[in-house]
Amino acid sequence: MGRLGGSCKLPWRAPCQLGRPTNRRVGLGLGGGRVRSALRRFEPLTLATYYRTVICEGVNAVPAVVRSIEIQAPPSAVWPWLATPEALRRWLSPNLEIDLRVGGAYRFRNPGEETWISGTVLDLVPEGALVLSWLEEGGDWVHPARLLFTLAATAGGTRVTLTHDGFAGIGKPGWPGTVQAYERGADRHRVLERLADLVAAGGA
């Protein structure tokens, strides 16, 4: 997650609230003086603040697993595949159960693995972003990490980015090894490629 050249534009028009301004929720995975200052004052942390701090200002010490793909379709054609539980099951996990609203709970088992994942919907921006807290059940995670799917319109269609962050805050000894495991998992599961195939086929 390095510094972007030129002007830095957010991947959607309207910033949205990640949730109530508490240390436990908004502090996960974020670094830099601006974010720490906001936490001390208990100010709301929006996705806009996150992107300006972590991406635009080049705070690259934050450990994150990032994958992106260019889909030759506008955000309006991609978003329906993130907008309903039925659509999400087609590419994220077939056993996903989710209350798809801010604050709603979800749970699913990682494809091909025995690990169950659970959390809540932190934010939902039509044609912009789906943000989830992310907790591995039955292990040594104390706090959740976070999963973001963001959509950004491009000249050729839509760039969809998957970001796993917050690993430094999960309270697990040896969490850098967890980051490495998620890097391997991202390459193995290839969920964005499955999403792109569904968008190309249509019918969400």
More confident residue, 53 or 201: 201
d(CA 160, CA 157): 10
| pLDDT level of residue 161 (50, 70, 90 thresholds) | very high
Note the pTM of the prediction, 2 decimals.
0.71
Tell me the pLDDT tens digit for each residue of 15-44: 333 333 333 333 333 334 443 333 333 334
Checking if the pLDDT of 132 tops 50, the result is yes
Checking if the pLDDT of 86 tops 70, the result is yes
The average confidence (pLDDT) of the chain is 78
List, in sequence order, the alpha helices (H) in 51-172.
75-78, 85-91
In 7-63, where do the E strands start and end?
none
d(CA 48, CA 197): 29
> Domains (ranges, CATH) in the chain?
63-201 (3.30.530.20)
d(CA 182, CA 193): 17
